[in-house]
Amino acid sequence: MRTSVTRFGRRVFFAAAAGAALAKTTQAAESANATIQIAYIRWAEQQVTISLLDKSAPDNGLAGAQLAIKDNNTTGQFMNQQFVLTDAPIRAGDDPAAALQMSASQGAGQRIGLVLTDVPAAMLLQLAAAGAGKGITLFNVRAPDDALRQQDCRSDVIHVAPSRAMLADALAQYLVWKKWSRWVLAYGSHPEDALLADAYRRAAKRFGARIVKEIQYKDTGGARQTDSGIVQTQQQMPVFTQNLPDYDVLVTADENEVFAGYLPYRTWDARPVVGSAGLRPVSWDPNSESWGGTQLQDRFVRMAHRRMTPLDMQAWTAVRMIGEAASRTKSADPATIAQDIKSPDFGVAAYKGRKLSLRDWDWQLRQPILLSDGRTIVSISPQPGFLHQTTELDTLGFDRPETECKLP
Amino acid sequence: MTRLFARMLLAGLMVPTSVGPAFAYTAYVTNEKDNTISVVDLDQMKTVKTIPVGQRPRGITITKDGADLLVCASDDDTIQIIDTKTLKIVGDLPSGPDPETFALHVSGNPLYVSNEDDNLITVIDVPTRKVIARIPTGVEPEGMAVSPDGKTIVNTSETTNMAHFVDYATAKMVASVLVDARPRIAMFKHDGSEVWVSAEEGGTVSVIDPVKHAVTHKIGFAIQGLRSDTIQPVGIQFTPDDATAFVALGPANRVAVVDAKTYEVKKYLLVGQRVWQMAFTPDNKYLLTTNGLSNDISVIDVADLDVIKSIQVGRLPWGVVVSPQ
Q: Is residue B234 a part of any domain in this protein?
A: no
Query: For chain A, how many structural domains are there in total?
Result: 2
Q: Is residue A103 a part of any domain in this protein?
A: yes
CB-closest option in B164, B227, B229 to A355:
B229
Give the percent of chain B with pLDDT over 90.
Answer: 85
Inter-residue contact B279 to B287 (CB < 8 Å): yes
Inter-residue contact B115 to B109 (CB < 8 Å): no
- Exposed/middle/buried for residue A33 (C-beta within 10 Å: 0-12, 13-18, 19+): middle
Q: Which residue has the higher pLDDT, A199 or A14?
A: A199
Q: Is residue B46 a part of any domain in this protein?
A: no
Q: Is residue B256 a part of any domain in this protein?
A: no
> Quick check: B181 and A391 CB within 8 A?
no
For chain B positions 20-79, those within 8 Å of chain A (CB to CB) are none
Residues B139 and A199: their CA atoms lie apart, in Å, by 38
Q: What is the pLDDT of residue B11?
A: 47
Alpha carbon B119 to chain centroid distance?
Answer: 21
- DSSP 8-state secondary structure symbol assigned to residue A307: P
Q: What is the pLDDT of residue A196?
A: 98
Q: Which residue has the higher pLDDT, A317 or A25?
A: A317
Tell whether B189 lies on the interface with A, counting CB pairs under 8 A.
no
Q: Is residue B152 a part of any domain in this protein?
A: yes
CA distance B138 to chain A (A): 6
Tell whether B117 lies on the interface with A, counting CB pairs under 8 A.
yes
Contacts of A349 in chain B (CB under 8 A): 158-159, 161, 181-182, 201
Judged against a pLDDT cut of 90, whether residue A316 lies above it is answered with: yes
Q: What is the pLDDT of residue B325?
A: 67
Residues A107 and A332: their CA atoms lie apart, in Å, by 14
Judged against a pLDDT cut of 50, whether residue B94 lies above it is answered with: yes
Q: Which residue has the higher pLDDT, B22 or A348?
A: A348
Residues B3 and B245: their CA atoms lie apart, in Å, by 53
Which among B159, B198, B249 is the top mutation candidate for probing chain A, defined by the most A β-carbons within 10 Å of its own β-carbon?
B159
Tell whether B174 lies on the interface with A, counting CB pairs under 8 A.
no
Tell whether A324 lies on the interface with B, counting CB pairs under 8 A.
yes
Judged against a pLDDT cut of 70, whether residue A32 lies above it is answered with: no
Judged against a pLDDT cut of 70, whether residue A16 lies above it is answered with: no
Pairing status of strand A137-140 against strand A157-159: parallel
What is the average pLDDT across A99-103? 77
Tell whether B139 lies on the interface with A, counting CB pairs under 8 A.
yes
Please give the mean pLDDT across all residues of chain B. Answer: 92
Task: Give me the CATH number covering residue A208.
Answer: 3.40.50.2300
What is the average pLDDT across B61-65? 93
What is the average pLDDT across A181-190? 97
Q: Is residue A386 a part of any domain in this protein?
A: no
Q: What is the pLDDT of residue B228?
A: 85
Does pTM surpass 0.90?
no
In this structure, are A192 and A340 located in the same domain?
Answer: no
Residues B109 and B104: their CA atoms lie apart, in Å, by 6
Which among B142, B201, B231 is the top mutation candidate for probing chain A, defined by the most A β-carbons within 10 Å of its own β-carbon?
B201
Q: Is residue A395 a part of any domain in this protein?
A: no
> Quick check: B181 and A74 CB within 8 A?
no
Q: What is the pLDDT of residue A2?
A: 38
CA distance A16 to chain B (A): 41
Range of the domain at B173: 53-219
In this structure, are A74 and A24 located in the same domain?
Answer: yes
Q: Is residue B278 a part of any domain in this protein?
A: no
In this structure, are A203 and A100 located in the same domain?
Answer: no
Judged against a pLDDT cut of 60, whether residue B118 lies above it is answered with: yes
pLDDT band, residue A31 (cuts 50/70/90): very low
Residues A161 and A397: their CA atoms lie apart, in Å, by 12
Residues A173 and B206: their CA atoms lie apart, in Å, by 37
Query: For chain B, how many structural domains are there in total?
Result: 1
Q: What is the pLDDT of residue A408?
A: 80
In this structure, are A52 and A195 located in the same domain?
Answer: no
Q: Is residue B44 a part of any domain in this protein?
A: no
What is the average pLDDT across A373-395? 94
Tell me which long-range contacts B44-51 makes (C-beta under 8 A, separation of at least 24). Answer: B45/B299, B45/B309, B45/B311, B46/B311, B46/B312, B47/B311, B47/B312, B47/B313, B49/B87, B50/B314, B51/B82, B51/B87
Q: What is the pLDDT of residue A223?
A: 73
Q: How many CB pairs under 8 A join A and B?
A: 63
Contacts of A80 in chain B (CB under 8 A): none
Closest residue of chain A to B159, computed from CA coordinates:
A349
Judged against a pLDDT cut of 50, whether residue A159 lies above it is answered with: yes
What is the average pLDDT across A226-231? 74
Q: Select from A282, A317, A344 the last residue of a domain.
A: A282
Judged against a pLDDT cut of 80, whether residue A21 lies above it is answered with: no
In this structure, are A194 and A217 located in the same domain?
Answer: yes
Judged against a pLDDT cut of 70, whether residue A8 lies above it is answered with: no
Residues A381 and A368: their CA atoms lie apart, in Å, by 6
Q: Is residue A355 a part of any domain in this protein?
A: yes
In this structure, are A136 and A257 located in the same domain?
Answer: no
Task: Give me the CATH number covering residue B190.
Answer: 2.130.10.10
> Quick check: A75 and B164 CB within 8 A?
no
> Quick check: A74 and B158 CB within 8 A?
no
Contacts of A350 in chain B (CB under 8 A): none
Q: Is residue A402 a part of any domain in this protein?
A: no
How many Cβ atoms are within 10 Å of B21's Cβ, its own excluded?
14
Q: Is residue B200 a part of any domain in this protein?
A: yes
Q: What is the pLDDT of residue A10?
A: 32
CB-closest option in B98, B139, B232 to A75:
B139
In this structure, are A73 and A218 located in the same domain?
Answer: no
In this structure, are A259 and A247 located in the same domain?
Answer: yes
Tens digit of each residue's pLDDT (9 = 90 or more) over B224-252? 988 888 999 999 999 999 999 999 999 99
> Quick check: B229 and A348 CB within 8 A?
no
Closest residue of chain A to B227, computed from CA coordinates:
A391
Judged against a pLDDT cut of 70, whether residue A361 lies above it is answered with: yes
In this structure, are A186 and A67 located in the same domain?
Answer: no
What is the average pLDDT across B5-24? 50
CB-closest option in B159, B181, B251 to A347:
B181
Which among A72, A75, A77, A367 is the top mutation candidate for probing chain B, defined by the most B β-carbons within 10 Å of its own β-carbon?
A75
Torsional sign, CA A174, A195, A193, A369:
positive
CA distance A33 to chain B (A): 17
Q: What is the pLDDT of residue A9?
A: 32
Q: Is residue B283 a part of any domain in this protein?
A: no
Q: What is the pLDDT of residue B18?
A: 42
In this structure, are A219 and A325 located in the same domain?
Answer: no
Q: Select from A267, A282, A297 the last residue of a domain.
A: A282
Q: What is the pLDDT of residue A107?
A: 52
In this structure, are A198 and A145 located in the same domain?
Answer: no
Q: What is the pLDDT of residue A111?
A: 73
Residues B255 and B283: their CA atoms lie apart, in Å, by 20
Q: Is residue A243 a part of any domain in this protein?
A: yes
Give the percent of chain B with pLDDT over 70.
Answer: 93
Closest residue of chain B to A299, computed from CA coordinates:
B117
In this structure, are A64 and A11 located in the same domain?
Answer: yes
Tell whether B160 lies on the interface with A, counting CB pairs under 8 A.
yes
Range of the domain at A297: 2-162+286-367
pLDDT band, residue A106 (cuts 50/70/90): low
Please give the mean pLDDT across all residues of chain A. Answer: 89
